[in-house]
């Protein structure tokens, strides 16, 4: 069997290596347009930031390694330019020589990845404006910074265009390099896949680390400055000046070859594949950023440009080619971004996705569990949003932000979501515990307990927008109000509540607030059992301070 694989990085290399392990006799040709196979895109921002100093560290496997360990016929600097599904051939152009060769295949795997979005804006090709997609891109950015300082020019300011995860990682790494960074984003918030409450937390954190944010403003064009830098003009008429501009405007599936070959393209613009990674031509497989996949939670077609799904799909394509019955389950978009010592992670459906598709059978809970036992040094709160089915408690998604333990909580919950778990399963999850790692009731357990309490009717939660104009009872201690208080709230500290019930109305809902929600829950249980109508303001003062800072006053 002869298998040609186009694209030699995440999906392509993983497919090639797996196929060799399953079939020692197959002829496997790995065709890659660029100079390298199997390199770590994900490390590029950290190489630019000097965290990964040597470029060679980005090469996960060299051509020589793939040849000697896996007996692969690796062809770099070689581009697939046309496919004939009828003749089962693919045309390969050797880029340095221009020579074109037709390779026959029994099975063809496409893993060409994505192309960076690059709108035809005035000045977009000016020197000093860089994408971040490949090792040569990273090298060019490093050289630009180095050559500027060698020529006595200051590379003091950078403008990052695009607030997705690559834009954020670049902002952090350029700050590490000592640059003054402005991040321009067309939408009102950074990180489009997450909901605005967590985006607010991320923005606050970026601001605290010196990144200037220009949100809700699209770039209109670029102009060369006399000092060699670039002015970035926005549609609102503002100008952000940079000695360096990074374009991180997102990606779209690279479907050039697939379209030429007449393969079916799906509604999101990716190559349409079945759960065995076969395209509309069963002998042609496609994997990675180029394909569209089923969203595991919503069941809808979607695009997920992430390394994990690309690698798993490459492996599944290899299994199917080798005669196994492997199937891709869909993707949940599980992601994490490290930012100045903190992390934002998410998996599954966001509230805004559910709203967009008209799914109203969900509820959400905010909580701030600690990353580990508070008596052990270094515990930090994790801001969590759990989204779950109101009708049956099924977990739909989670978002988490904090300085410790975010990755393992979201990874654990992601796994449970893939198993079809409910919030009741989270309550029962048995996780590692010693004080430096977690709590006897772990953040993951709390992420089930709070929603389960809501579904059991132990308390109901009200979201700030629906609570702010009603009666608000603040059950924090008086001294806590110095730093942040709501002027319209009545303060009765929790320990005094049982003795002061007669101060509360019996004819209206009491919206109970505390710092994070826990004391609010205790208070609501007291009030409900004394015949009052009470509900917890979800996320407490910690959340309100982020999403509606104008509502919060301070006496200090």
Residues contributing to the site for ligand FAD (CB under 6 A): 6-7, 9-12, 31-34, 41-42, 44-45, 79-80, 111-113, 132-133, 166, 254, 257, 288-290, 305-308, 310
Q: How far is the CB of 44 from ligand FAD (least distance, A)?
A: 4
| Residue whose CB is less far from ligand FAD, 251 or 421 | 251
Q: What is the DSSP letter of 77?
A: S
CB of 304 to ligand FAD, least distance (A): 8
If the CB atoms of residues 27 and 223 are measured against ligand FAD, the closer one turns out to be: 27
Comparison of 133 and 364: residue with beta carbon closer to ligand FAD: 133
CB of 494 to ligand FAD, least distance (A): 43
Strand partners, 497: none
In this chain, which residue has its C-beta nearest to ligand FAD? 288
Q: How many residues does the chain have?
A: 556
Q: Are 537 and 467 within 8 A, CB to CB?
A: yes
Residue 103 Cβ vs ligand FAD, minimum distance, rounded to whole Å: 12
At residue 121, φ and ψ (nearest 5 deg) are -85, 150
Nearer to ligand FAD, 263 or 452 (CB): 263
Cβ distance to ligand FAD smaller for residue 42 or 518? 42
We find the least distance from the C-beta atom of residue 1 to ligand FAD, in angstroms, to be 21
Which residues are paired to 104 by β-bridges? 89
φ, ψ for residue 521, nearest 5 deg:
-65, -45
Closer CB to ligand FAD, 4 or 449, in the complex: 4
The span from the CA of 206 to the CA of 172, in Å, is: 8
CA distance linking residue 492 with residue 500, whole number of Å: 8
Please tell me the chain's helix, strand, coil percentages from 3-state DSSP, rounded to the nearest 5.
Answer: 30, 25, 40
Q: Which is nearer to ligand FAD, 116 or 537 (CB)?
A: 116
Roughly what angle, to the nearest 10 degrees, separates helices 196-208 and 540-547? 80
Of 101, 103, 162, the residue nearest 129 (C-alpha): 162
| Least distance in angstroms from the C-beta of 314 to ligand FAD | 7
Give whichever of 307 and 547 is closer to ligand FAD, judged by the CB atom: 307
Q: 86: Cβ–Cβ under 8 A, 6 or more apart, which residues?
A: none
- One DSSP character per residue, 96-140 reads TT--EEEEE-SEEEE---EEE-----TTTTSTTEEE-SSHHHHHH
Q: CB 33 → ligand FAD: shortest distance, Å? A: 3
Question: Using CA atoms, how far apart are residues 205 and 195, in angstroms rounded to an integer?
Answer: 16
Nearest-approach distance from CB 182 to ligand FAD, in angstroms:
19
């Amino acid at each position: 069997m002869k298998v040609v694989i186009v694209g030699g990085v995440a999906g392509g290399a993983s497919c090639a290596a797996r196929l060799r392990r399953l079939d020692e006799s197959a002829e496997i040709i790995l065709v890659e347009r660029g100079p390298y196979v199997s390199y770590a895109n994900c490390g590029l921002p950290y190489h630019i930031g000097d965290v990964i100093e040597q470029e060679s560290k980005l090469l996960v496997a060299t051509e020589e390694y793939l040849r000697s360990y896996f007996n692969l016929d690796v062809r770099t600097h070689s581009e697939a330019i046309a496919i004939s599904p009828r003749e089962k051939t693919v045309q390969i152009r050797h880029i340095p020589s221009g020579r074109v060769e037709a390779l026959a295949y029994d099975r063809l795997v496409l893993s060409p990845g994505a192309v960076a979005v690059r709108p035809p804006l005035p000045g977009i090709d000016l020197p000093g404006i860089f994408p971040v997609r490949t090792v040569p891109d990273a090298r060019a950015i490093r050289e630009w910074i180095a050559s500027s300082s060698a020529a006595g020019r200051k590379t003091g300011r950078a403008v990052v265009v695009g607030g997705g995860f690559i834009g954020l990682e670049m902002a952090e790494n350029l700050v590490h390099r000592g640059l003054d960074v402005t991040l321009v984003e067309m939408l009102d918030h950074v990180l489009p896949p997450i909901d605005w409450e967590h985006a607010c937390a991320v923005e606050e954190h970026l601001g605290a680390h010196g990144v200037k944010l220009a949100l809700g403003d699209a770039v209109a064009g670029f102009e060369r400055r006399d000092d060699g830098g670039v002015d970035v003009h926005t549609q609102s008429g503002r100008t952000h000046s940079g000695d360096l501009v990074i374009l991180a405007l997102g990606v779209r599936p690279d479907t050039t070859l697939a379209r030429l070959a007449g393969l079916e393209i799906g509604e999101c613009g990716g190559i349409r594949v079945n759960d065995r990674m076969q395209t509309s031509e069963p002998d042609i497989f496609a994997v990675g950023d180029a394909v569209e996949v089923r969203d595991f939670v919503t069941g809808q077609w979607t695009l997920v440009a992430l390394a994990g799904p690309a690698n798993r799909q490459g492996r599944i394509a290899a299994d199917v080619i080798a005669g196994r019955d492997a199937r891709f389950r869909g993707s949940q978009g599980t992601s994490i971004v490290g930012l100045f010592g903190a992390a934002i992670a998410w998996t599954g459906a966001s509230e805004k996705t559910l709203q967009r598709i008209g799914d109203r059978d969900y509820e959400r809970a905010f909580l701030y569990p600690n990353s580990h036992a508070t008596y052990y040094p270094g515990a930090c709160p994790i801001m969590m949003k759990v989204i779950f089915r109101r009708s049956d408690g099924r977990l739909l998604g989670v978002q988490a932000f904090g300085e410790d333990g975010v990755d393992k909580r979201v990874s654990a919950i992601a796994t449970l979501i893939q198993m079809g778990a409910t919030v009741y399963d989270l309550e029962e999850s048995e996780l590692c515990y010693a004080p430096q790692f977690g709590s006897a009731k772990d953040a993951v357990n709390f992420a089930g307990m709070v929603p389960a309490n809501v579904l059991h009717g132990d308390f109901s939660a009200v979201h700030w927008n629906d609570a702010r104009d009603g009666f608000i009872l603040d059950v924090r201690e008086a001294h806590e109000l110095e730093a942040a208080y709501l002027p319209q709230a009545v303060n009765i500290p929790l320990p005094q509540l049982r003795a002061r019930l007669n101060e509360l109305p019996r004819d209206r809902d009491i919206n109970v607030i505390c710092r994070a929600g826990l004391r609010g829950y205790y208070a609501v249980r007291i009030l409900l059992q004394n015949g009052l109508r009470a509900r917890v303001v979800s996320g407490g003062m910690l959340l309100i301070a982020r999403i509606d800072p104008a509502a919060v006053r301070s006496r200090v």
